[in-house]
């Protein structure tokens, strides 16, 4: 199979870049995949294809740009030129832009592939029905929120034209089946990017690092984490360093710079900026606890899977998709109440002051991550593509009891 993957890709800073990298990394090792056509966004630097070991041929077609009005044309052109046997779209609703028209036009691409009778799977990491438009930084205007929901419904129908639509959370299956009467929804877990050898769970010498990782400024806010650590410092003798690893969300440029100024008086705080793929193991490996300072969620969490891969304890809010994901995939952490600094301080402190508890959480999360590696996930996609080719897709009958099962039981 010559497989085209439409995705953002390193060194791009567009959302889902890291996930695109790991899809390619593991698809290239699938026996049924003879070539990958990487239909990706344009970057000034070369694409990161420095994989270890042998794998299939990879052809790069830089075809689209964030917020470009011509993305649909150029993606379709790249598919025409390369003639893949199948196409996988790695999507979320702001994948092709944070401006409304470019974002919407890009999401028409799966429908065009379906019209051309190219076997197509669309992986959607979030659905608009589960996105808090206010917290996600899209709009606070109630009227516009209604308009976006109507437009989102229309765009979802275009994505649902794919042969198979893959989602990573069971609740999404239920929503899409009930609202859209869809019968082509597959539950395929997010998967863990890496499954390194089990760590020894020891921490490096020096301050214990409390780390948050991601794109910040909308529903990911670092203020609560910084103030929670300050609260812990005031009542314990713990030596703590605060690490903010990542960049601004596209919707909130300048946010982290403003946080650096606001908290310039706080000792032992480090803003790393963009973290390159090769530096991710060190950032996670040095951390005592990974914090999720979220006020809402917009889909499955790559950061949680990364934390699990490196055997890290986590402090996270029990809300939305994140709470569902923890229970379905077997992760474990200290929960806190969103927007409650004291609650977060208690959660972090419970991990920092109790090494046995920290190690127990880390081991549990490592086991959860290892149970669903990306090699298994890409094999599931390969099997679905084969089923499309030979016209023997399973009967996607509604299963609204799915939320009561763990994701491993469903798989």
Read out DSSP for 294-336?
BSS--S--HHHHHHHHTT-EEEEE--HHHHHHHHHHT---EEE
Structure tokens given for 310: 């490196």
pLDDT reported for residue 327: 79
pLDDT tens profile 260-301: 999 999 999 999 999 988 899 999 999 999 999 988 766 667
- Say if residue 232's pLDDT is above 80: yes
- Taking CA atoms, 282 is separated from 155, 209, 310, in Å, by 39, 12, 10
Q: pLDDT grade, residue 205 (50/70/90)?
A: very high
Q: pLDDT grade, residue 243 (50/70/90)?
A: very high
Structure tokens given for 123: 């992986």
pLDDT reported for residue 321: 72
Mean pLDDT of 54-68: 94
Q: pLDDT grade, residue 16 (50/70/90)?
A: confident
49 in Cβ contact with 28 (< 8 Å)? no
- May I ask the CATH architecture of the domain 2-191+374-410? 3-Layer(aba) Sandwich (3.40)
Question: Do 2-191+374-410 and 208-370 show the same overall fold?
Answer: yes
Mean pLDDT of 82-100: 90
State how far the Cα of 309 lies from the Cα of 304, in Å rounded to an integer: 9
Mean pLDDT of 37-50: 93
State how far the Cα of 291 lies from the Cα of 351, in Å rounded to an integer: 11
- Say if residue 81's pLDDT is above 80: yes
163 in Cβ contact with 391 (< 8 Å)? no
Tally of residues, the chain: 411
H/E element, 93: none
Lowest-pLDDT range, 145-149, 195-199, 234-238, 282-286?
145-149
pLDDT reported for residue 369: 86
Q: pLDDT grade, residue 383 (50/70/90)?
A: very high
pLDDT reported for residue 60: 96
Q: pLDDT grade, residue 131 (50/70/90)?
A: low
Q: pLDDT grade, residue 140 (50/70/90)?
A: low
- DSSP class per residue in 186-204: EE----BS--PPPP-----
- Which residue ranges make up each domain of the chain? 2-191+374-410, 208-370
State how far the Cα of 299 lies from the Cα of 359, in Å rounded to an integer: 27
Mean pLDDT for all residues in the chain:
88
Mean pLDDT of 110-130: 90
DSSP label of 409: H
* Per-residue buried b or exposed e for 364-392, using 16+ beta carbons within 10 Å of the residue's own CB: bbbebbebbbbeebbbbbbebbebbeeee
pLDDT reported for residue 401: 40
Structure tokens given for 390: 């030979």
Taking the C-alpha atoms of 174, 177, 180 and 186 in order, what is their torsion angle to the nearest 10 degrees?
A: 100
State how far the Cα of 173 lies from the Cα of 400, in Å rounded to an integer: 8
The pTM assigned to this predicted structure is: 0.75
Q: pLDDT grade, residue 234 (50/70/90)?
A: very high
pLDDT reported for residue 153: 86
- Say if residue 410's pLDDT is above 70: no
Between 162 and 330, residue with greater pLDDT: 162
- Say if residue 405's pLDDT is above 50: no
> Which of 307, 282, 119, 305 minimizes the C-alpha distance to 204?
282
12 in Cβ contact with 41 (< 8 Å)? yes
- Say if residue 136's pLDDT is above 80: no
Q: pLDDT grade, residue 190 (50/70/90)?
A: confident
Lowest-pLDDT range, 39-43, 105-109, 297-301?
297-301
Lowest-pLDDT range, 121-125, 283-287, 349-353, 366-370?
366-370
State how far the Cα of 114 lies from the Cα of 40, in Å rounded to an integer: 20
End-to-end CA distance of the chain: 24
- Domain covering 208-370 in this structure, CATH number: 3.40.50.2000
34 in Cβ contact with 117 (< 8 Å)? no
**Helix-, strand-, coil-residue percentages of the chain, each rounded to 5:** 40, 20, 40
Burial of 240 (C-beta count, 10 Å sphere; 0-12/13-18/19+): buried
Place of tokens 């036009």: 105
Of 199-203, 252-256, 287-291, 392-396, give the range with the top mean pLDDT.
Answer: 287-291
Place of tokens 């081991």: 363
- Say if residue 317's pLDDT is above 50: yes
Provide the H-helix boundaries in 181-271.
223-235, 255-262
- Say if residue 138's pLDDT is above 80: no
- Say if residue 13's pLDDT is above 90: no
H/E element, 26: helix 17-27
H/E element, 183: none
3-state secondary structure of 38: strand
Percentage of the chain beyond pLDDT 70 is 90
């Amino acid at each position: 199979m010559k497989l085209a993957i439409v995705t953002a890709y390193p060194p791009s800073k567009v959302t889902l870049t890291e996930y695109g990298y790991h899809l390619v990394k593991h698809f290239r090792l699938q026996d049924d995949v003879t070539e990958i056509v990487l239909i990706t966004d344009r970057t000034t630097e070369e694409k990161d294809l420095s994989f270890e070991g042998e794998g299939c041929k990879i052809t790069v077609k830089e075809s689209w740009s964030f917020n470009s009005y011509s993305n649909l044309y150029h993606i379709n052109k790249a598919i025409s030129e390369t003639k893949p046997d199948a196409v996988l779209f790695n999507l979320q609703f702001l994948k092709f832009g944070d401006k409304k028209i470019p974002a919407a036009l890009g999401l028409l691409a799966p429908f065009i592939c379906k019209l051309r009778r190219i076997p197509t799977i669309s992986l959607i990491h979030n659905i608009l029905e589960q996105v808090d438009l206010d917290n996600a930084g899209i709009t606070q205007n109630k009227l516009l929120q209604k308009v976006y929901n109507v437009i989102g419904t229309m765009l979802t129908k275009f994505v649902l034209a794919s042969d198979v639509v893959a989602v990573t959370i069971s609740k999404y299956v239920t929503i899409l089946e009930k609202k859209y009467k869809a019968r082509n929804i597959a539950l395929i877990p997010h998967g863990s990017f890496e499954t390194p050898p089990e760590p020894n769970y020891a921490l490096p010498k020096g301050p214990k690092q409390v780390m948050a990782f991601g794109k910040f400024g909308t529903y990911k806010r670092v203020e609560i984490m910084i103030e929670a650590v300050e609260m812990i410092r005031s009542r314990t003798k713990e030596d703590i360093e605060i690490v903010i690893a990542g960049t601004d969300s596209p919707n909130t440029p300048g946010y982290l710079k403003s946080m650096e100024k606001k908290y310039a008086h706080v000792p032992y705080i480090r803003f790393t900026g963009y973290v390159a793929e090769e530096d991710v193991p060190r950032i996670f490996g040095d951390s005592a606890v990974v914090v999720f300072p979220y006020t809402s969620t917009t889909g499955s969490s790559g950061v949680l899977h990364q934390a699990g891969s490196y055997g890290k304890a986590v402090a996270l809010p029990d809300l939305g998709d994140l709470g569902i994901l923890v229970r379905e995939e077997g992760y474990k952490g200290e929960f806190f109440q969103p927007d409650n600094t004291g609650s977060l301080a208690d959660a972090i402190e419970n991990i920092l002051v109790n090494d046995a508890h920290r190690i127990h959480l880390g081991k549990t999360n490592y086991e959860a991550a290892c149970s669903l590696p990306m090699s298994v996930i890409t094999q599931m996609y390969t099997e679905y593509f084969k089923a499309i080719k030979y016209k023997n897709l399973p009967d996607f009958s509604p299963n609204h009891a799915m939320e009561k099962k763990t994701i491993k039981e469903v798989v």
